[in-house]
Structure 1
Amino acid sequence: MEFSPGEDNVDRTMLMTGASRGIGRHAAEHMLRADPDLHLIVVARGRDTATLPGELAAASGNRHVRAIGADLASLADVRAVVAEVTAALDAGTTPPLYGLVANAGIQRTSTTEATSDGFETTFAVNVLANYLLVRLLADRFTAPGRIVVTSSDTHAGAGAPLVPKARWADVATLARPGTGPTAASATEGRRAYSTSKLGVIYLVHALARRLPAGVDAYAFNPGLVPGTDLARDAGPVTRGLFRALAPVLTLLPFAQRARDAGDQLAAAATGPRPGDSGAYLDRSRAGRSSPESYDPVREEALWRDCASLVGLPADQPA
């Protein structure tokens, strides 16, 4: 698939999280292979910071790949990523920034874990990190630009009974580590995941109202994709069960392979414009998310409260 948002033979840069494995890995390889002028900056952790650029370059034939090491559970690390990207843009060592693919996400087995900033880990990584990235980089995107944040249809209960439907609350509550025996359960950990993915849709709607013309924002739903290692934080029995069932689950009509989902994510980021800014991309086409996910009051409250949590003014443009 040809790169669409930019002009042919023009170098451009995309920033991507969650490119190390699964859907994101396939999407990164697809984008690099399809567009030799694309420069990809991947945010990675641990050994992946050193090895991922070379692996992506070898798989795609495109050597315009670099990595920035960061833990998205740390707001300081997120700010450091932005500082490094903007410094490279200002120095002219990196082509203009056109897009962000925010694919990184986690699912924990409780809501009791806190980040170094004191926030509940699932909400911190899946919502706050994305909020801070787009806020700090919003004025650096070159039109036609595109921001794609990975969501999930579990927000509407599609993962039941394994992943409970989202249960929204005020942002201060969602960002606070849970206490008590219920908070320590895997059920609440998985509910925190589906709730964070509802928060992603709210974030995208609020962002779409603030971005300048020519820069679009989308929430991408890959559907059920067995074998993506999302349950890596679960116990050994649960992990083993997911691995054993993955080949069978892939055969279900509403499931798909990681490679296919990765191709769809790549198309959402670099293919023809998939829909109006703010749209929910259900696999390969724009669709409707749950009725609950269309709530301007919650969307604006999320925007305002996240600004407070990360120490930014809420009333400035994105």
Structure 2
Amino acid sequence: MQTIIITGATSGIGYECALELARMAPDKQLIIPCRNLQSGQKVVKKIQQQTNHQHVICMPLDLESLQSVREFVQLFSEQPHRGLVALLNNAGIQHADETRSTRDGFEATFGVNHLAPFYLTLLLLPFMSAGSSITFTASGTHDPKQTTGMPTPVYTSAEQLAYPAKTNESPVAVGQKRYTTSKLCNVLTTYALQKRIEKLNIRVNAFDPGFVPGTGLARSYSPFLKFISNYIFKLLILLHPNVHTARQSGKNLANLAYGDAYKAYTGKYFEGKKEIPSSEDSYRQDLQKELWETSLKLTGIKPEQTSIPLP
């Protein structure tokens, strides 16, 4: 049985996307990676109850640990399957308090939002074939020209993003900047990867879900900011074209990753249903190259672990 993997599917956009994928692909195995298997099993049961899809499973994966990523891929390799038809790198975090680090010592936003999905993708490439798809959930906040209210990304080097210097800026401002920069990394990775897998006929795209009030990204906010995110911002759905419900964005993500209408697209950036240009910096080949090469070094991936030449 062929397989679809979607990270960040226990709530919000990812959960709604998983529901849609279960409806779209009843003959495919749907894997929900999760840190907490008990919570994951509850999500699996809900998806099965709502869609009658009987091939949904959860598998342990902690994106704050590169070892966990390796163990997930090893476990996946032992599953009875006939290849990976779609990988959706949807999980993401944003911290608005103190600086946090992954188990490998990387700044957590960069580690979880960029390095772990980068590593996961390269390790899973050997299980993909022509026609398979890879989708990175990015964000319009990576583009300074978009009126998102979020700070402009600051890309210095991947090394400095992984090991940032101490700063006197407010934790909220720092957390937001790290988030928007990590989303720029998702788009840079999309373009860098597309060049390297073009001959394999595997497509890769980046997706902006728009602003989705009430999602898990606000989990580390103060009670006041959580209230604003969960309730006040929901009014924007009626006023702003790129503010969506989790259900709307989840369906858009599922269609981009697996829908017939998007099978000819690769190396593109989508805002909801439509292809649009990404930020000017995202097209800079020097940034793409620096991020790619440093990410290879930071993750320690070996040539025999993936199916494309390194670097």
Q: Does 1:316 align with 2:279?
A: no
Give the corresponding residue for 1:185: 171
What amino acid is aligned across from residue 264 of structure 1 in structure 2? N
Instruction: Please list, as runs of the form range in 1=range in 2, the aligned pairs for 1:140-219 lying within 5 A after superposition.
Output: 140-157=127-144, 158=146, 160-161=148-149, 163-182=150-169, 185-211=171-197, 212-219=199-206
| Offset of residue 273 of structure 1 | 5.0
Q: Distance in 1 between matches of 2:183 and 2:98?
A: 15
Aligned match of 2:30 in 24, 36, 40?
Answer: 40
Q: Deviations over 1:17-55 (max 9, x none)?
A: 011111111110011112210211111122323322212
- Name 1:6's counterpart in structure 2: none
Letter of the aligned partner of 1:316 in structure 2?
P
How many residues are treated as equivalent by the alignment? 302
Could you tell me which residue of structure 2 aligns to residue 18 of structure 1? 8
Question: Secondary structure at 1:148's aligned position in 2?
Answer: strand
Taking structure 1 as the reference length, the TM-score comes to 0.90
| Matching residue's letter, 2:296 | A
Q: Which residue of 2 aligns with 1:280?
A: 269
Separation (CA, whole Å) in 2 of partners of 1:154 and 1:104:
16
Within 2, Cα distance between the matches of 1:288 and 1:217? 15
Contact kept in structure 1, 2:213 and 2:231, CA below 8 Å: no
Deviation at 1:181, TM superposition (A): 2.4
Distance 2:176 2:124 in 1: 30
Question: How far 1:178 moved relative to its partner?
Answer: 4.1
- State which drifts further: 291-300 or 102-111: 102-111
Q: In the alignment, what sits opposite 1:230?
A: 217
Give the 3-state SS of the residue equivalent to 1:181 in structure 2.
Answer: coil
1:247 is aligned to 2:237: no
Cα distance between partner residues in 1 of 2:296 and 2:25: 35
One-letter code of the match for 1:194?
T
The TM-score with structure 2 as length reference comes to 0.92
Q: Show structure 1 runs of 5+ residues with no match.
A: 1-10
Structure 2: distance between partners of 1:241 and 1:282: 24
Gaps of 5+ in 2: none
Match of 1:70 in 2: 61
| Structure 1 match to 2:42 | 51
Which residue of the partner structure matches residue 82 of structure 1? Answer: 73
